[in-house]
Structure 1
């Protein structure tokens, strides 16, 4: 699926409550902007059999009280299944479109960021997308779209 197809899928599968599809369409440009900076259209996410994403808590090397919760997104199934957490029979690797991963990140308040392992076979270097940065970008797009909808005060 292309990025446009992924975003269209998000909009079409949003709850049809009259507001949510429009809200998803409004934030779609922010999701596209981040997704375009990543190398793959889909990644593998480790999930429990109940489809809960597997989180890893990382500790800061020098600040022992600083922690963050991350989810790993793997470029290949081989990389995902090489993760020690995948050895648990209750955990599976599922492919997900990149825009769907980013969309989920917005809603998952317990997750601070997603680490995208871009190069198959290289699990030492990843691209981190933080929830805070994604939310800030979405907020900027929302403000932009609201600004366009306002009628200028000097309209005659």
Structure 2
């Protein structure tokens, strides 16, 4: 399994051969590393559809039913990810491993929802750590010339 620096190098190598995109990726790196360093694992499992899209869930606020947000769950073990698949689920999906840097980058760069929810403790699928998009944006705009 790659450490964070190796994951960053892989992200840079896989970036499109476009100077502007490479510059944006380089601006993201300190923020990605900072957020990734707060996580307990170097790799997580996300549910992915047969077409390759990550499964997004719409959650409704318990006290304000008119408030909804889209999240992606990231599990620390493949077993926990498999257990989260509901029998008879409409969309077939499978857990796939994703390096934490890649997970954070894709989530934020491709605007895949309002929050990532990390289930850090193996076997505990009830207590997740939410990383809202706003945390990334605050760190990014506070540390770059993009503001």
Q: Same fold (TM over 0.5)?
A: yes
**1:110–1:14 distance in 2 versus 1, CA, 3 Å:** closer
**Larger CA Rg, structure 1 vs 2:** 1
Deviations 1:54-106 (A, max 9, x none): 01111111101011110000000000000134765720100000011110111
Structure 1 residue runs of 5 or longer lacking an equivalent are: 147-156
Deviations 1:3-59 (A, max 9, x none): 011111111111111222222122101000000001000000001011101011111
Q: Is the 8 A contact 1:35 1:99 kept in 2?
A: yes
Runs of 4+ in 1 over 4 A off after TM superposition: 86-89
> In proportion to residue count, which structure has more helix?
1
CA-atom RMSD in angstroms: 1.7
Q: TM-score, normalised by structure 1?
A: 0.86
Distance, in Å, in 1 between the alignment partners of 2:87 and 2:78 is: 11
Q: Secondary structure at the match of 2:116?
A: strand
- What number of residue pairs does the alignment pair up? 144
Q: Secondary structure at the match of 1:125?
A: coil
Q: Report the equivalent of 1:77.
A: 78
Distance, in Å, in 1 between the alignment partners of 2:143 and 2:107 is: 17
Q: TM-score, normalised by structure 2?
A: 0.91
Q: Report the equivalent of 2:10.
A: 9
Q: Report the equivalent of 2:101.
A: 99
Q: Is the 8 A contact 1:57 1:70 kept in 2?
A: yes
